[in-house]
Amino acid sequence: MTVFQDDRSMLVRVGLVDRERELATVREQIGHGRPVTLTGVGGVGKTRLALRAAQELRAAFPDGAWFVRIDEIRHPALLAHGVTAAMGVVDQPGRSQAEVLLGFLAARRALVVLDGCEHLREAVGDLVGMLREGAPDVRFIATARQALAMPGEYRLVVRPLPVPAEADCERLTFHPADLRRLSRIESVRLFAVRAAEAAPGFALTARNAAQVARLCRRLDGIPFAIELAAVRMREMPLDEVLGRLHDRFAVLGAARPGLPRHQTLRTAIGWSHELCTPAERLLWARLSVFEDGFDGDAVGAVCADDRLPAGDVPALLARLVDKSILYLGDHDDGTRYRLLGTVREYGLGWLRLLGEERRMRRRHRDHYLEVARRVDRDWFGAHQFVLYRELLADLGNYRAALAYDGAGEADRRAALDLAAALWPLWIVRGLTREGRYHLERVLADDPPPGPERARARCHLAWVAFARADVETACATAEAARREALDHDDQLLALRARMIACVALGTSGTLPGEAHASETSPGGSGGIGTFSGEAVGGGTGARGAGGQEGSDALGNRGREPRPASGDVAREAALVLTETLDAILASRAGRPDDLDPLLALGVIGLLLDRCGELDQAADLLVRAVELCAGHGDLWWWSHLDWILARVELRRNRPAEASGRARTALAIKLEFQDAMGAALQLEVLAAAAVALGGPVRAARLHGVAASVLRTATTPGLSLLALGDVHAEAERAARERLGDASYERERDAGAVLDEETAIAYALGPDDRES
């Protein structure tokens, strides 16, 4: 006989979220005769997984299957009594309950599920070990916050359900393909089913998809928390449920029928807290200052002190992993820990009670400031992509560090330094809106003058340009340049001037009474020749637009130049003068990052004013220098600029090869705008090579990619002239209806297919 007393209703509901991979593992290990212990944080679904596995396996156990709630047994001495009582085994005078249980099971082929074993783990391990010896055909599945440490045990960590990507939480629109993909994510599917039960008529739609994605992500994919949130749909709309999740223990506090330890989310997590030692509880509380994942070095730097010696931290981390407080996962070449949001919030409450929150948050800020400084310092080199992946992995921690609200002068300098050092996140990853917010906030907080303020201003100018705000970019860049020169930081001054020049030169306007040069950038002195002499002779590093009162292009204070109306040419000349002067003063080397940034911008500006051969020569030289450093990010930009030049030199095959190489790099960097720029060049090359269908489809792919981009400023550089000419040519070849049909076909390709198509060959179409 099979007995799942009081749990048939659970069994009926278990199949809603498949967990097929975990179920297959349980079936395999039970088939090998091993006891299986399902471990995981409270509410993750261990009990339901055990019940579902038992349901699927019970045909293989003709003598019975039992489900026993160990959490209702409070003392080790009562364990065997509780198990026999749950299984309906009659007491036998003169025999211990363990002996009675063994006698009952000895000749049976049966399955026993022991649920909630963590508080009696040693006693349960001993009992199961004894029963396995005397009843070799009985199989055991246990659930606990940590393994039972018995011979032959197989521990299966039950992880939260998969959650939507962060990008899904920020989408403004969901196309049908996006909605179908989202609906297949297990956490979303669970919420949609439970919400429809609580509020008949609820369905996942394009209008509420982003909210559902945010809710499932905020709740870490924990089934119990998702179900409690869905139940709240009976009494409040989805946006209100989501809005109240800042205090998730309050909004998810409603009781549900079932296990006593799962009456509310708070008690589910509190049950784990009770099972921890004082040192484990202290570390749990301190770990709550971390967001998302973190590594062991970060834990030691932030959490260790006299109360938690650094030498004890690794063992404490291992014990918290063993007790399912922490999840452990590999990340690239290192190991990272993760504290689920619900578990983190519980620990944060304890940290506040201990009076340690502010101290831990400052230590957290200081640690990630040092890491950000190292990334900034080492960015330009062969380890760039590894550093970039580390930045992305710790994005949540950097956001938390930026939110630290210290009020002293040292704190203000640290805030400036951190916001500026994170420029690869703002510029490379394309988080320009967020970067602008942080940089403007720290600069508005009355920061003291100094190198930190100059760097923050410079990177605010960069972000403003990426946001297509040319006026702010130019004014802020000039302020940053002056302050950098005050602190004799020639390379930062060059970066600021580069930002102003590219903003002005690509927008086509000069502020104030700017004058253009009579001299072509191809004239005396050369562009980027690294000859060691400034163009025009003897300007010096300060003289290259460095006088007080000069505008962003350094016009005031120099001899006026006759107007030519060619802003890009003027910007190229001014930036060339600045670059040559800095190299002449030996303030930097030609293969430093900032000179290479400037060289690429000069090439872009020369492309804008038609100096194609000279631009190509400069850009090829810059690509060689980048390759020598192992740089990928700026190299991919240079390849894009060079591909534009090759298009205009009527060399579409060369342009396509450059853009294809750059696209592969942009995809690695998750740079949506950069990828869109390469796609536009590939489309233009395709139509020039006799492939208007490919061009139209690539336009559709680019449009789809652009929906996720956050850096509109770069559209000033490419998405106008390159796109317009390619579209015109493709429409002429195909006709409007065919062009639009092929473009729409490209726009709905899934990501993998779209990438493969874009990186494919440019075959001539018949």
Per-domain residue ranges of the chain: 20-157, 166-259, 276-379, 408-508+564-630, 654-765
311-320: long-range pairs with CB below 8 Å, 24+: 312/279, 313/283, 316/279, 316/280, 316/283, 317/283, 319/277, 319/280, 320/276, 320/280, 320/283, 320/284, 320/287
For domain 20-157, the question of CATH label 3.40.50.720 is answered with no
For residue 367, the surrounding DSSP H or E stretch is: helix 357-378
- Taking 60 as the threshold, does the pLDDT of residue 226 lie above it? yes
Q: Which residues contact 477 (CB under 8 A, 6 or more apart)?
A: 457, 458, 461, 462, 496, 497, 499, 500, 503, 552
In this prediction the pTM is 0.75
What six digits make up the tokens of 256?
Answer: 């549900």
Q: How far apart are CA 219 and CA 216, in angstroms?
A: 5
**Cβ 147 vs Cβ 38: under 8 Å:** no
CB contact burial 728-764 (16+ within 10 A = b; e otherwise): ebbbebbeeeebeebbeebbebeeeebbeebeeebee
* Rounded-to-integer distance, Cα 220 and Cα 324, Å: 14
Calpha distance 324→339 (Å, rounded): 9
Tens-digit pLDDT profile for residues 366-422: 999 999 999 999 999 889 999 999 999 999 899 999 999 887 889 999 999 999 999
Q: Per residue in 2-44, pLDDT tens?
A: 344 433 333 334 444 668 889 999 999 999 999 999 998 888 8
Structural contact between residues 657 and 638, judged by C-beta atoms closer than 8 angstroms: no
Q: Return the bridge partners of 2, or none.
A: 65
Specify whether the CB–CB gap between 505 and 514 falls below 8 A: no
Q: What is the DSSP letter of 427?
A: I
Q: Which residue has the higher pLDDT, 218 or 331?
A: 218
Which band of pLDDT confidence, cut at 50, 70 and 90, is reported for residue 248?
A: low
Task: Please tell me the least confidently modeled range out of 78-87, 269-278, 595-604, 642-651.
Answer: 269-278
Of 643, 639, 755, the C-alpha closest to 701 is 755
The residue ranking higher by pLDDT, 284 or 566, is: 284
Pick the CATH number of 276-379 from 1.10.10.10, 1.10.10.60, 1.10.1060.10, 3.40.50.670: 1.10.10.10
CB atoms within 10 A of CB 245: 18
3-state helix, strand, coil in the chain (%, to 5): 60, 5, 30
Contact 626/588 with Cβ under 8 angstroms? no
Q: Identify the bridge partners of residue 66 per DSSP, sorted by sequence position.
A: 3, 112
Overall average pLDDT of the 179-205 stretch: 92
How far apart are the C-alpha atoms of 115 and 152, rounded to whole Å? 19
Tell me how crowded residue 454 is: count the other CB atoms within 10 A of its CB.
25
Listed residue (640, 638, 662, 648) closest to 608, CA to CA: 648
- Residue 540: what residue type? G
Read off the pLDDT of each residue in 302-322 and give the average, rounded to a whole number. Answer: 94
CA angle 48, 49, 52 (to 5 degrees): 85
- The CATH number given to 408-508+564-630 is 1.25.40.10
Mean pLDDT over 217-227 rounds to 86
φ, ψ dihedrals at 387, nearest 5°: -60, -40
**650: burial class by Cβ within 10 Å (0-12, 13-18, 19+)?**
exposed
Which residues are CB-contacts of 148 (< 8 A; sequence separation ≥ 6)? 35, 37, 117, 121, 122, 124, 125, 128, 142
Whether the Cβ atoms of residue 500 and residue 512 lie closer than 8 Å to each other:
no
